[in-house]
Amino acid sequence: MCPQGQFLLTNEYGNAECDCEPGKAYHGLTNACYEPYSQGPCPPGQIIKVMDNNGRGTAQCVPNPCPAQKMVMLDSKCQVQDVSLKEFGTLGGTCYTIGTKGPCTSGILAIDSILMEPLCLLETTVHSIFNLPNLRDCSEGGIRDGQGRCRMPFRFNPPRTCQRGSWRDSQGRCRRNYSHISEQERPIPTSRPGASGVICPKGEVFLAGVCYRLALSAYD
């Protein structure tokens, strides 16, 4: 159903879509999910990182400033927010391995599963060690998934047939068709048209074995 490393979920609109497993970032160019700060599909010397792309988080290949993958660099601009980390002040561009103590006085260095940024994971609380960008709302029709990415809904199930008298619009929704708001007349046999070959009287249309008188035209 879904590509490897993804699972099927129902979004806020009730549509089924594929999403990355928790802790992984979606890479649009390969339509696959990877652990942040790993090499993933990137060439040697680069890693996957979720970047703030005009208010939308996108996974991109960027040069790795650390000697190995799955390490993060905490530079001098990082503002430490956890009281227990104040002793670090400026972190001086040092690389730390994810999953180790790193610069944390307690807990371990981990990756935020929503914004894909480093944080110190404690036993009961999570404290960010970065001033993270404020991501703006997604564009119309898009939703922000569990990884903080804006994505268009992916409808996995094929659209069902609309009920009789309805039509499917460009968004895949079934809507009532009021192009013929009519008054039902009498049923007539379809195999016995009039002498002129016209089944219904003037001003009426033949639909499913019944003549209908045309009224107004409107859509909901």
pLDDT one-digit tens code per residue, 49-106: 887 766 667 888 988 888 877 777 765 333 333 333 333 444 456 787 877 877 777 7
87 phi and psi angles, rounded to 5 deg: -65, -20
Domain hosting residue 126, numbered range: 6-151
Domain tally for the chain? 2
Residues 6+ positions from 207 with CB-CB distance below 8 Å: 180
Q: Quick one: tokens of 52?
A: 């703030």
Give domain status of residue 52, yes or no: yes
Q: In terms of domains, do 121 and 175 share one?
A: no
Say if residue 10 is in the same domain as residue 57.
yes
Same domain membership, residue 32 and residue 128: yes
At 43 the pLDDT is 92
Is 162 within a domain? no
What confidence score (pLDDT) does residue 168 get?
59
40 shares its domain with 140: yes
Q: Are 116 and 147 within 8 A, CB to CB?
A: yes
Same domain, 142 and 39: yes
Q: What is the pTM of this model?
A: 0.44
| Residues of the chain with confidence (pLDDT) below 50 | 76-91, 123-136, 153-159, 178-196, 216-220
Lookup: tokens for 126: 């999570």
Claim to verify: residue 146 and residue 55 sit in the same structural domain: yes
**Which pLDDT belongs to residue 174?**
64
Instruction: Look at residue 79 and tell me if it is in a domain.
Output: yes
User: Per residue in 97-108, pLDDT tens?
Assistant: 877 877 777 777
Instruction: Mark whether 90 and 46 lie in a shared domain.
Output: yes
